[in-house]
Structure 1
Amino acid sequence: KVIESIQSRARKVTGRDEIAQVGNISANGDREVGDMIAEAMEKVGNEGVITVEEAKGLHTELDVVEGMQFDRGYLSPYFVTNPEKMVADLDNPYVLLFDKKVSSLQPMLPLLEAIVQSGKPLLIIAEDVEGEALATLVVNKLRGGLKIAAVKAPGFGDRRKAMLEDIAVLTGGQVVSEDLGIKLETVTLDMLGTAKSITITKEETTIVDGAGEKAQIEARVAQIRAQIEETTSDYDREKLQERLAKLAGGVAVIKIGGASEVEVKERKDRVDDALHATRAAVEEGIVAGGGTALLYSVRALEGLEGENHDQTIGVDIVRRALQAPVRQIAQNAGVDGAVVAGKLLEQDDVEFGYDAQKGEYTNLVKAGIIDPAKVVRTALQDAASVAGLLITTECMIADKPEDKSSGGGAPDMGGMGGMGGMGGMGF
């Protein structure tokens, strides 16, 4: 009943401002972080990949990559076309996708001759390009007869085959695979993919504006979405999500800067938390923050009694636990938590709450104090799960408390961190 109450009050995130507000709250009031996450989601879409990295400078910046990017660079520096930036830029290239190693160019000679006549560059994406074949490609590139580059296919095993298929759909080509009865000797120009441009660095390859048909790309996206729903592995889900983003959205990188390593790491952790909270808000919507979403759910338990005395006590425990976050936030702000909780429960407006920062009662949603409904829901469910486990467990292993002699230092401020364990309060 409590979960249903929370979900019934959740409303969809409607714009960039609300996304920024969620990020701002989750990053401990860092407005720059909220705005940057909102901008990243706006540019790459809700399903786009947003990663957080440590920058080398003082400033935090957002870098958005258009098109599909994968972490494989050129196999030889001789493929570079821009020595100053050490990148290989290919304009309107053909893309050959091969799921095995290329050890000899002999089977490819008819194809290479056709490409030379077309005047277009060629990118070979294969499991590997070995010694003699790689040396021959480099020699032809240096002589100016063939504009070419080669990279290893991304991923490993079955995932590599799937990613090659993704690139094939994106570029409008076919994967040359002997499993499908296609050999290198029989490949023609119309079996190759194409793109507006491809940029290859030492570490990554970016394909921009592939020539694949929109309907086929959408079908591939739908297929990957279905796999995400079915998989039970978190790792597989993450990798599928990355593939989906590369096809459907894009890739954004938030690079965290700072004056020291400690500052950068602390800020990176905050941005990670804010990013997860923002994704949760987009997924299941938002509710009023400040612990009020749980507090007002107490009303869903009115008149509810268990089938026996123990169950009735259990309902009372949940009822008290739902008030704990609001009480703790108020106490952390130096206010009587019981008074705040009591005053809020007298209200009919479920968006009304206590702004601990300003020390006033207000409409929390309008004030930008909001929580992702998914975070509130999972916090409650996980707390109930752990509490239930402890109740049914005969013994528990815990650290032995140490006897600390009370010194003359500052008083213990342990209570200020109460929000970290709010889920289990009252159990």
Structure 2
Amino acid sequence: MSETTNPGLEGVIVAETELSDVDGEAGELIIGGYPLEELAANASYEESVFLLFKGRLPTADELETFRTDLAARRRITEEVRQVLRRAAADGAPAMDALRMGVAAASLEDEGGERENADVDTTAETGSGPRADAIRLVAVVPTVVATYWRYRRGEEPLEPRSDLNHAANYLYLLTGEEPTPADVRGLETYLNTVIEHGVNASTFTARTVVSTDSDLISAITAAVGALKGPLHGGAPGPVLEMLREVHEEGDPEGYVREKLEGGERLMGFGHRVYRVRDPRAAVLSDAAERLYAQSADADFFETVQAFESTAVDALAEHKPDRRLETNVEFYTAALLDGVGVPQELFTPTFAVSRVGGWSAHCLEQLEDNRLVRPVSRYVGETGRTWTPVDERGV
């Protein structure tokens, strides 16, 4: 057995996948065989999920059936609402509320929603891993929006089957039917971050399901991993930074002050990418289109100016680090532009990534092997037992 230790499993291949290919050196991301920029800019979120679940894009009839299946599973029970109501009343963070709601997602709404599942996705009973995958993708937006409305002292809304996935989520948050521009902006975001290799939360989900546990347990664990600020929590602070820079009107001065003070600039640098994050490029284009129709266009001009200033300054101050723009930088601007509250940035990440998590779980189960790494012991040896009354300090 090799004695090499790889902290954080750095560089260790733990799975073969057909879901995505991440090239950090070239700055390229392929999802289901499609370049990210093509898929994100053109697909609906339902098409992206179908692609990950089935390995191909749907026909028009298949897409309509899949949309219907998702819409039929969006509702949550009163018992789940009670949990979210209590979480909101206690001021629980949104990711904690999401974890609670996902854990209870197997409590489906009355009316036998499982029986409405796409018969090609599950056994004849309409249950099983693929049915759970569809349920999870469908219900996460409802859980997030229900918690948020309770948090604001408002009653939650019923999901609308006539709206697509992205539009329904915005409707559940605001109570208003969103504009096509907002829907397209959010949909581009959901497509962009739906899948990104075996990251921490995805690996967590695959590990759980490798034990022959269920998808709901696996996705609950993935939500717990995403909650950690080292994984999914940066877009909120990025927005705060961008708003501060916009109010001060001096991007160059802000960057200089932060770098000279040894502080970190949020939204730059990535564990994998050594060039500009390809997701940042896609979201930048989407945000530019969105803000071109917005009264807040001057804010986006500040965002673009700040990126240019920050990248040049980072290259000068830290030439060995290659700190380029990452996905979180334009996530903050785009989600704010479509009306997603800052407190829901990370849960909205989960609204998208649940599609990738679920697809990885299904892929793991196709040729499953229990995930069981080993550790190298570095503790004491040669100790002998001493009765408690004979032990010194």
Taking structure 2 as the reference length, what is the TM-score of the superposition? 0.27
Q: Name the one with the larger strand percent.
A: 1
Q: Name the one with the larger helix percent.
A: 2
- Whichever of the two has the greater Rg, that structure is 1
